[in-house]
A and B are shown apart, each in its own frame.
Chain A
Amino acid sequence: MLKSKTFVKKTRSGGVLKIVREHYLRDDIWCGSEVCKECKDEAPVLQEHACIESNLCSYPHYLIPDTNVVLHQIDILEDPLIRNVIILQIVLQEVRHRSAPVYKRIKDAIHEKEKHFYTFTNEHHRETFIEREQGESANDRNDRAIRVAAKWYTDHLAKKTNGGSLKVVLLTDDRSNKEKAEQYGLIVYRCEEYIKSLIGNPELMDRLALKPDDQNEITGSKLLFPEHLPLSRIQSGIKNGMFLQGTFHANRDNYLEGKVFINREGEEINEVLLQGLQNLNRAVHQDVVAVELFPKEHWVAPSSVVLQDDSPNDEDAEEDETENKPTGRVVGIIKRNWRPFCGMLSQSMIKEATRHLFTPADRRIPRIRIETRQAANLVGQRIMVAIDGWPKNSRYPNGHFVKNLGSAGDKETETEVLLLEHDVPHQPFSQAVLSFLPKMPWSITEEDLKVRADLRHLCVCSVDPPGCTDIDDTLHCRELENGNLEVGVHIADVSHFIRPGNALDQEAASRGTTVYLCGKRIDMVPELLSSNLCSLRSNVERLAFSCIWEMNHNAEILKAHFTKSIINSKASLTYAEAQMRIDDSTMKDDITKSLRGLNRLAKILKGRRIAKGALTLSSPEVRFHIDSETHDPIDLQSKELKETNSMVEEFMLLANISVAQKIYDEFSECALLRKHPSPPPSNYDILIKAAKSRDLNIHTDSAKALADSLNNATVENFPYFNTLLRILATRCMMQAVYFCSGMDSDFHHYGLASPIYTHFTSPIRRYADIIVHRLLAVAINADSTYPDLMDKHKQSALCNNLNYRHKMAQYAQRASVAFHTQLFFKNKGIINEEGFILFVRKNAIIILIPKFGLEGAVFFDNKDKPSPHLSFDSEGPTLKVEEHTFRMFDEVKVTISLDASNIQHQRIRMALIEPLHTCSFIIYDLVRTDKGVPVGMPH
């Protein structure tokens, strides 16, 4: 049967279009129930004995939620307890239209077999399709469609079970819909009513989202915030320049301050400062907001005070007279970017209370008020909470409990938390993804042999850190008959296994990178590839992408050649093993000779690179010795660099630069490259000031000048000084990023002093390398191209995702180190240690303890005690506390211990013992991410 759907639409140019679509109705849409014999469904989804114990519905029943229930109570629906749910097509469509994340979640739930969720395409069913009637709004029509479908199910099931017990229950929170449904003879409950009736599952109650009318009773009637403007006003305001649109970034250190980054091109102002709760006006970190600028005379400077939302005082941060920034206030929210947040419950003082404050782990997120009956059980647990809304009369947003992640401080729980908080996709790979893996047992075929260079005879070996299972690079070096040297870098040919566009490829593209945490690795590609088929292990035949140079003994490249190949690695060495072979003059085998050749060339290459102005920077990195049984850290040591580390790195750089040049020559518009912009001169201010304090000059006009002056900057009797300077210099740098060559004109890599650079050498753990592999394969006619590869806009979008994932991976990694540091100190007790002052702030000093790579702030103003007399000099910068003046790089002594008294945020507490004995403490936070982003290690 054919129907037509008609609607009018306004076009962009202001015209009006009438659109008519054909709509077919069918009589072969099955109900999906096991009970029904008439519907010829081969694999019915809904169970015959659909039992959830409830005092309201004692009979087996299926649930039909309406659109708003799905949208708001998705957390409930996701609970494994809720099964046998019929999701109507109209509901699904509306959800899709209104919220993409919820749509994805409900789709996932539908796909999960255990949940027995069934999608009923009511809009195409002959008996459940309805046409909109005169005077009926679109929403009313959809509600009616839901009721008609529910009625159809009721009658259909009654017929099939001969008036038996199986029923359908409609869930809706809409009062008028509920009344109409009751008149229509349906069993209908409010979601809350139904969930409350479930026997033996009180914890589900907490996951109910709060409805607006519930929220009123929670808070007083006092209006705390100005009203948000409606979207239409905001849009016209943005159009005529009254408001600016941007993404809100809360300040981590000061909850009363935030910034809005204006992301429109051609705007003079790209950053607006917001101060005070009123002006922040309920914006939450990452929301897209509209801001109104204040007149220039009201502009203020960002405060350099560290202010935590621990205390109840809501005073505004004190104002500063230096350099005022554009300041404004939030007038409306364009798009909320709320996600479920991890954190902990701060139990209410009143014992019986059900309303509690939740403190998110991310300090940029405000505390959230939730309602729960199981507060006592949740204390000390890491939980997840979603925000439901933020009424204008409430100091805090309202939310609901989503799930319990486990007890705080527990290794598993904390790892889960930091993965969630850093948005690292870490679920196991789905069946769809795994289906694209090669079938085992896998072997090299005749065809591979035909199209690839056979390099199995070459003496190829890999050099990696100990315990590495995803080996993606191998090297060889041999003397040619003409006296020149042949050097080859062979990279795992991941793009052979991951074909463009399939689920495996999409998953890898979305993950972007493998994330290495302490004692745990979150793979970008399934383990079969990462640790087996792609990993270039020794004595097995593997597919590789080779970059082979002919060089003379001065390491000058005479010829470069790229080919897909087959190799057979002769040895998988660790850095230490390789070093031993090189140093042991008695060893004369091929591998060792090859290594020595490589090492010699690498030294020449490195020398040349440094002469060009490449920077050697430093960041305090530590490595834990993990107990193999308990997986607890037992000792930690700074990462030690051997000659062989630098040898491997040198050749990887060379391969990356060669490949970058090659793909850029072939595809000037769509080559995926990596750049490292030179930092703005003002970034170096702190470095120059710091060096001045020791009567040294740092030149920052060019990378070369900086490298040279860093090399010369040494202070007698202070060997660590140079490292400190380098750590500081690292903090001045910009982040290196991927970009698409067609979208940018500045290709320079500042840190490596190379005009062009890309990532080619780690395709197992970085998606960018896979794209580069594909580009290179097309360039040498080894593979075919596909449209997305040549689309600079698509590639640019991919780059954005990769940059984001890399940044988050880095943060997650650091958070993991921080957590393990805490575990370490938990076992160690109290230690006295030496440290250096890294920065001096207005009310605090930041101290670095090289031995543990620890960094934290000492606050001198303490809210409990009268603060000592402080005077801050921004020129030095120095901070005078009572009698003592703290300067940058001063050596101090501290005592370190784990402060587990506040399980909310476990801290490493460090008290200053020399030169000034104070009770103030240094805090090393569990999640510290914004300060000092070190340059990504190039290799």
Chain B
Amino acid sequence: MAAVQVSEAEKVYIMHGVRDDLRLDGRGCEDYRHMEIETDVVSNTDGSAKISLGHTDVLVGVKAEIGKPKPMVPDEGYLEFFVDCSANATPEFEGRGGEELGVELSNTLYKVFNNRHSVDLRSLCICPGENCWVLYVDVLLLQCDGNLFDAISIAIKAALFNTRIPKVHISEDEEGVKEMELSDDPYDCMRLNVENVPCIVTLCKIGHRHVVDATLQEKACSVASLLISVTHRGTVTCVRKMGGGSLDPESIFEMTEAGKRVGKALHAPLMELLQKEESLGKKRQKVGFLG
């Protein structure tokens, strides 16, 4: 990931700060940076959202397409993830530089989101065993300033909230030949229930304490971090340790607790914000990429 040069003296300064719950930019250890979210930014997707978290910019688009359900779960649709690390985000992504990170990110996202507890996959089924909706979630990293996972997960939740899937009616004639008909009313569409969609909270171990939403400098001071996906109820659905260092069980417990607390606090304002935005309807002034 994007590297910053941090000298030993700087590291000590940051670590000491964290110890006293005072971070470089003035935040406390469990504070997020300023966050901006806008949905419905890409018109030819079925749902989209753009988020900026500090200087981390992420764009997520959701495309719904008709596909075949997986044989093991014939009555469910599924999600596919693709993360594109644009060379705009950081020069390191140039060429195939971002590929490895992209694959890692998308695999993690797949684990976190593609299960029936997070998203109601049954509602994506059109005709069991034959047709289902496949949601292609495309993530584009526009700028990297640390804490990609959290930003991406929030953007995905917002984009799924924004997703409108055209209604499909299955008609069957007497020979049993099924015919799919699309509703011609653009308002006649299906929404996803995003209540249980989790958000990822990444906690970075710095010294003896941990911080959420680490900047790149802070990240450089951390040897290990824990990725926790939390639902709005505070249920942990997935935990993953990242980085080379080790974590003792006690701090894992502490970090999980902190993650639950932070995650829970993240969901409520996010949903409120999304609903408020939607209630503005057509009157909403679109900001897009100019904001």
Tell me if A431 counts as interface (CB < 8 A to partner B).
no
Which residues of the other chain, A, contact B173 by a CB distance below 8 angstroms? 232-233, 236
Tell me if A15 counts as interface (CB < 8 A to partner B).
yes
Query: Which residue of the partner chain B has the closest CB to A134?
Result: B187
Tell me if A137 counts as interface (CB < 8 A to partner B).
yes
Tell me if A6 counts as interface (CB < 8 A to partner B).
yes
Known A7-B186, A134-B187: A14·B66 in contact at CB below 8 Å: yes
Tell me if B285 counts as interface (CB < 8 A to partner A).
no
Write out, one digit per residue, whether chain B residues 225-268 have a CB within 8 A of any chain A CB (1) or not (0): 00000000000000000000000000000000000000000000
Q: Indicate if the CB atoms of B187 and A16 lie closer than 8 Å.
A: no
Q: Which of B4-12, B40-48, B209-217 contacts A (4 or more CB under 8 A)?
A: B40-48
Which residues of the other chain, A, contact B175 by a CB distance below 8 angstroms? 236, 240
CA–CA, A133 and B46, complex, Å: 19
Which residues of the other chain, B, contact A14 by a CB distance below 8 angstroms? 66, 180
Which residues of the other chain, B, contact A593 by a CB distance below 8 angstroms? none
Tell me if B287 counts as interface (CB < 8 A to partner A).
no
Q: In angstroms, how far is the closest chain B Cβ from the Cβ of A15?
A: 6
CA–CA, A135 and B187, complex, Å: 7
CA–CA, A20 and B63, complex, Å: 14
Query: Which residue of the partner chain A has the closest CB to B64?
Result: A16
Q: Indicate if the CB atoms of A16 and B44 lie closer than 8 Å.
A: no
Query: Which residue of the partner chain A has the closest CB to B168?
Result: A16
Which residues of the other chain, B, contact A135 by a CB distance below 8 angstroms? 185, 187
CA–CA, A469 and B221, complex, Å: 100
Known A135-B187, A236-B175: A10·B182 in contact at CB below 8 Å: yes
Q: In angstroms, how far is the closest chain A Cβ from the Cβ of B182?
A: 5
Q: In angstroms, how far is the closest chain A Cβ from the Cβ of B192?
A: 16
Query: Which residue of the partner chain B has the closest CB to A4?
Result: B43
Tell me if B272 counts as interface (CB < 8 A to partner A).
no
Tell me if B179 counts as interface (CB < 8 A to partner A).
yes
Tell me if A138 counts as interface (CB < 8 A to partner B).
yes
A-B CB pair tally, cutoff 8 Å: 52
Write out, one digit per residue, whether chain B residues 160-197 have a CB within 8 A of any chain A CB (1) or not (0): 00000010100001010101101011110000000000
Query: Which residue of the partner chain A has the closest CB to B133?
Result: A16
Q: In angstroms, how far is the closest chain B Cβ from the Cβ of A16?
A: 6
Interface size class of A (residues with CB under 8 A): 20 to 34
Tell me if A8 counts as interface (CB < 8 A to partner B).
yes
Which residues of the other chain, B, contact A19 by a CB distance below 8 angstroms? 44
Q: Indicate if the CB atoms of B43 and A8 lie closer than 8 Å.
A: no
Known A8-B182, A232-B179: A16·B43 in contact at CB below 8 Å: no
Tell me if B94 counts as interface (CB < 8 A to partner A).
no
Give the number of chain B interface residues (Cβ < 8 Å). 21
Known A8-B166, A240-B175: A15·B186 in contact at CB below 8 Å: no
Write out, one digit per residue, whether chain A residues 1-44 have a CB within 8 A of any chain B CB (1) or not (0): 00010111110001110111000000000000000000000000
Q: In angstroms, how far is the closest chain A Cβ from the Cβ of B64?
A: 7
The A contact surface, by secondary structure, is mixed
Q: Indicate if the CB atoms of A137 and B44 lie closer than 8 Å.
A: no
Query: Which residue of the partner chain A has the closest CB to B187?
Result: A134
Query: Which residue of the partner chain B has the closest CB to A22?
Result: B43
Tell me if A403 counts as interface (CB < 8 A to partner B).
no
Which residues of the other chain, B, contact A8 by a CB distance below 8 angstroms? 166, 182, 186
Q: In angstroms, how far is the closest chain B Cβ from the Cβ of A570?
A: 72
CA–CA, A134 and B173, complex, Å: 30
Tell me if A452 counts as interface (CB < 8 A to partner B).
no
Q: Indicate if the CB atoms of B44 and A132 lie closer than 8 Å.
A: no
Query: Which residue of the partner chain B has the closest CB to A19?
Result: B44
Known A6-B43, A10-B180: A16·B66 in contact at CB below 8 Å: yes
Q: In angstroms, how far is the closest chain A Cβ from the Cβ of B98?
A: 28
Interface residues of A in 591-605 (CB under 8 A from B): none
Tell me if B20 counts as interface (CB < 8 A to partner A).
no
CA–CA, A133 and B186, complex, Å: 9
Which residues of the other chain, A, contact B282 by a CB distance below 8 angstroms? 131
Known A6-B43, A15-B66: A137·B185 in contact at CB below 8 Å: yes
Which residues of the other chain, B, contact A236 by a CB distance below 8 angstroms? 173, 175, 177, 179
Tell me if B65 counts as interface (CB < 8 A to partner A).
yes
Q: In angstroms, how far is the closest chain B Cβ from the Cβ of A646?
A: 64
Interface residues of A in 621-639 (CB under 8 A from B): none
CA–CA, A138 and B65, complex, Å: 24
Q: Indicate if the CB atoms of B65 and A6 lie closer than 8 Å.
A: no
Interface residues of B in 65-92 (CB under 8 A from A): 65-66
Q: Indicate if the CB atoms of A132 and B166 lie closer than 8 Å.
A: no
CA–CA, A136 and B45, complex, Å: 23
Which residues of the other chain, B, contact A9 by a CB distance below 8 angstroms? 182
B contact residues vs A (CB 8 Å cutoff): 43-46, 63-66, 166, 168, 173, 175, 177, 179-180, 182, 184-187, 282
Given contacts A20-B43, A138-B184, 4 further A-B contacts (CB under 8 A): A8-B166, A18-B166, A132-B186, A233-B173
Q: 29 A–B contact pairs at CB < 8 A?
A: A6-B43, A7-B184, A8-B166, A8-B186, A9-B182, A10-B180, A10-B182, A14-B66, A14-B180, A15-B65, A15-B66, A16-B64, A16-B65, A18-B45, A18-B63, A18-B166, A20-B44, A132-B185, A132-B187, A133-B187, A134-B187, A135-B185, A136-B187, A137-B185, A138-B184, A138-B185, A236-B173, A236-B179, A240-B175
A contact residues vs B (CB 8 Å cutoff): 4, 6-10, 14-16, 18-20, 131-138, 232-233, 236, 240
Closest 5 pairs (CB-CB, A-B): A134-B187, A8-B166, A20-B43, A20-B44, A10-B182
